[in-house]
Chain A
Amino acid sequence: MMSRDSPAARFWAEFQDNRIAVAALAVIIAVAVMAIFAPLITPQDPYDIGRLVLGDARRPPGHLGSGGYVHWLGTDAQGRDLLSAILYGLRISVMVGVAAGAIAFVVGAVMGATAAFVGGRVEALIMRFVDLQLSFPPILLALVLSAILGQGRIQLIIALVTAQYAYFARTAHGAAATERAKDYVEAALSTPLPTRTVLFRHILPNCLPPLIVVATVQVANSIALEATLSFLGLGLPVTEPSLGMLIANGFQYMFSGRYWISIYPGVALIILIVAINLVGDQIRDQLNPRLKR
């Protein structure tokens, strides 16, 4: 159990002061729950070809379909219920975004902390490489990599991780370099503990707060990046329709005024990204000692 005075409880109490951040957190949880249980709450499985009726295609929001239920957000070019398609799309987008963020977190944190801990030439080499990569826009790296690796979930995650780990590495390096100089690290090193243990058990946990802030931003970024790549036709294959692909599919119908096919998946995407960014902002403010009253 969490005691009332534990750091986590104090953090949560402070977090609650910001109503907008709490609302954003609620939105994130709601979206995550809806995405996880999408097969249970959607009226149709949007990718069961046998259940699609072409007579229902491209209907506006509020249309009562032949399945006997209302398509609240309309249907797409194949007669797919858009609300169902969005919830299924969210599953894929969230999964890819979180997986890419988590892997980039681990890779970047280990690289940055190791560089700060080992020092010397290894540090110079790693950080020089990271800085070089940071000077290229992530969208460009992701674009190039997904073009080179081809379409697919694994390929896309590799492209996103490569485009983003450098942010974690830079942050971890900065935090770990500060921790490295502290007395408790000297004390731990003077015991017969293996250096690996000192690095992962003592230094890395103390670098977590700034990394968590980077992580929230990067998860939002990788969801947006994935959508952009899928929109350009370079992300996921057609068999895994994420939100970006839904938007791309609706693009051609927009010119005839059938806006809902592209616009609603985009709205879902934005709600998710804005919510994550708002929570990230609040966490950053709480962890920033300069803003403490």
Chain B
Amino acid sequence: MLGFLIQRLMQAVVVMIAIAALVFVGVFAVGNPIDVLISPDVTQQIRLDTIARYGLDKPLWEQFVGFLSRLVHGDFGRSFVFNMPVLELILSRLPATLELTLAAVLGATLLGVPLGMYAGYRPDSPVSRLLMGLSVLGFSVPTFWIGLVLILTFAVWLGVLPAGGRGDTVTVFGVEWSFLTLNGLQHLLLPAVNLSLFKLAMMMRLARAGTREIIMTDTVKFARASGQSEWTILRRHVLRLISIPIVTVFGLEFGSTLAFAVVTETIFSWPGVGKLIIESIQSLDRPVMVAYLMLVAFLFIIINFLIDIAYAALDPRLRARQ
């Protein structure tokens, strides 16, 4: 097991360095950041000073080596636009994104699993058919367009919910949170619904498929024969058995929801990491782009690493094969 762990860990490090190289070289192809940093009519001296200050005059590989060594020390450089350390900038935006993502994934699970279980329990009822039809819509309709419809309906026409921003926040442990104030919750609702619809459709389908399968098994037949109520069977037996794949997907989807937050945050002006990355792409703020990409890559590599380890722990054949 230790050998397998080390092997996977080495693989993860190699992948991380490869991604760092790709991201670094790739981001260099985007425009010339010096044109964004200073106005075109400054003196040549200021121009050269700025280039030297940001290290843009050094050869590519030297910048990359410097970048890698700073990366290991947790130093992602300074944002060209915000003129502050990138790590600090991203960390200051991260709570907003985490709050939004958690609200969306939790909401999708808490609502989607019961609905999906109902659809699996009564597959032929009109309500179940309607739910499944809606889940096709949830998969097909692009997130950004649903966001527009939500804003149009609830903010413009009905005027009951705000169209964007985070609203009032409360500072807990030095971090600002929206979900602790009523105004903040109102601001959180629409973006969270928007971000959760895709996951909701998926949770419903997963729960439905699982329930349909398990309702046929001997476990349920015996439980029925022992006189337990249908409600108890669903809660005690079916829910427990379908929760294993659902928890797996919950973990996996958390990462992809973070990625989708880019779209939702842009529409609802939610001041999170996703909005930051779109703004930094548009203003060619290279250190922010690179740091964001590296952090996301790091996150996904960690998730995959954990999955690999979990599977290996469950399946001895994987360990033996290496």
Contact = CB atoms under 8 A, between A and B. Distances in A.
Interface of A: 132, 135-137, 139-140, 143-144, 147-150, 220, 224, 227-228, 231-234, 244, 247, 251, 254-255, 257, 259, 262-263, 266, 269-270, 273-274, 277-278, 281
Contact of B289 (A132, A147, A233): A147
A255 B304 contact: no
A137 B255 contact: yes
Nearest to B25: A148
Contact of B266 (A232, A257, A262, A278): A232
Contacts of B297: 136
A273 B140 contact: yes
Contacts of B293: 144
B144 A231 contact: yes
Given A228-B263, A278-B136, A263 B163 contact: no
B206 interface: no
A228 B144 contact: yes
Contacts of A149: 29
A231 B267 CA distance: 10
25 contacts: A135-B303, A139-B263, A140-B256, A143-B262, A144-B26, A147-B289, A227-B144, A228-B263, A231-B263, A233-B282, A234-B278, A234-B281, A247-B148, A254-B148, A254-B156, A255-B163, A262-B148, A263-B148, A266-B142, A270-B142, A273-B142, A277-B139, A277-B140, A278-B136, A281-B136
B281 to A, nearest CB: 4
Interface string B304-317: 10000000000000
Contact of B137 (A227, A259, A266, A274): A274
B132 to A, nearest CB: 11
Nearest to B144: A231
Interface residues of B, number: 41
B143 interface: yes
B296 A140 contact: yes
A148 B29 contact: yes
A17 B266 CA distance: 43
Nearest to A256: B156
Contacts of A139: 256, 259-260, 262-263
Instruction: Give the dominant DSSP class at A's interface.
Output: helix
A140 B296 CA distance: 9
Interface string B236-266: 0000000000000000000110011011001
Interface string B45-72: 0000000000000000000000000000
B127 interface: no
A132 B140 contact: no
A247 B278 contact: no
Contacts of B15: 132
B156 A257 contact: yes
Given A135-B304, A140-B296, A263-B152, A147 B144 contact: no
Contact of A274 (B140, B163, B267, B303): B140
Nearest to B142: A224
B111 interface: no
A211 B142 CA distance: 24
A269 B142 contact: yes
Contacts of A281: 136
B20 to A, nearest CB: 13
Contacts of A228: 142-144, 263
A255 B268 CA distance: 12
Contacts of A259: 152, 156
Contacts of A251: 148, 267
Name the residue among B29, B144, B149, B293 with the largest chain A CB count within 10 angstroms. Answer: B144
Contacts of A231: 144, 263
Contacts of B152: 254, 259, 262-263
Contact of B156 (A147, A224, A233, A255): A255
